[in-house]
Structure 1
Amino acid sequence: YPHGATELYSDSWWFGIADFVLFTALQMCLSWPTGVRMFAVSWQAYFSMCFINPDDTTHFSSGIKDIILEGGAVSPLIGTVIGCTIAVLVMCTSPLGYCFSALTSAQELALTLAWEESRQWRRMIYYYSSKNSSVAIDKIVGEAHKMYEDVKMLEGYLGTNSWWECFDIGRAGKVRAHLQQLDGIMNR
């Protein structure tokens, strides 16, 4: 169907509907990050709407020899490639200073949490093993609440944002996996 649906409820129209439904169902079944699914389904919706609308005048390239740069598929692809390239360049180490990274923030927070947890255990053991009671338990409880908030922040850092930084490949992927194990232990 090189020209899409030429009239409503024709064979090509039903093919376009079936293609959209199957593609969307496939995206929902795959365990890709939510951002990837939303991006894929949004573009599929755009292409499907162009395909099934008989009055649509969007121009698409018909093949390798007939690429239309301003067309309905190539122009968004160029924009996406430029956007992804800029996003990767932003994540590279900057000569101007520190590069913010969810994975780096997660590593720093995990070190702080490990130190705070050991300190918290020492203070609780000292409090419960001493004979005189004091208001120190209130401070210990307050610090425990702060640590709980930090654990939730660590969980946020280790979400899909840090996956995009390393794609769970190589050393950074191993670090992220270990940090996720630590987060799972601390959330028990």
Structure 2
Amino acid sequence: MNRIIFATGNEGKMKEIRMILADLDYQVLSMKEAGIDIDIVEDGTTFEENAIIKARTIMEMTGEIALADDSGLEVDAMDKAPGVYSARFMGENTSYDIKNKYILDQVKGLPLEKRSARFVCVIACAFPDGRIFTTKGIFEGFIGEDIAGENGFGYDPIFWLPEFGCTSAELSPEDKNVVSHRGKALNSMKEKLKELL
């Protein structure tokens, strides 16, 4: 079976990715499963740049089709921080419990409309022949008042969705994959791949 390597070691992310790309006739592997152990320097200033850096690096190492995503949380009251630095926000090894509490403190006391936020995800695909393309998904919501929910990962437990009356960490994985930034970007990428593969 043909393979696509996804430039991530994040198992939570791989679960979402596999669910969405399940009907592609390709085996989707994480870097770890493909036996790749490198730290890719993400020195881009946009989600697009970082996603392309990761996908191109893995494609050049393996000679195989590589996918990568770069995603993050933009909080309007924090001048769109943490943004592209979402994973490294407050330090590489800082737990999301600490990061989430910090963000909740930053918006404490603000009315809901001033707590607007969004998740942004860009997926890049690098082909061995040098072609590269990207898709983007945006997931609008608000910063909630508390940490809530066991599903998802990262900033999901503080991302409040008024239309569902819960955080994105309280959505079922199936519901989340339909509405989330990564779900939207991956579904667009899947349609592109079906045309090109």
TM-score by length of 1: 0.24
Could you say which structure has the higher strand fraction?
2
Larger Rg: 1
TM-score by length of 2: 0.23
Could you say which structure has the higher helix fraction?
1
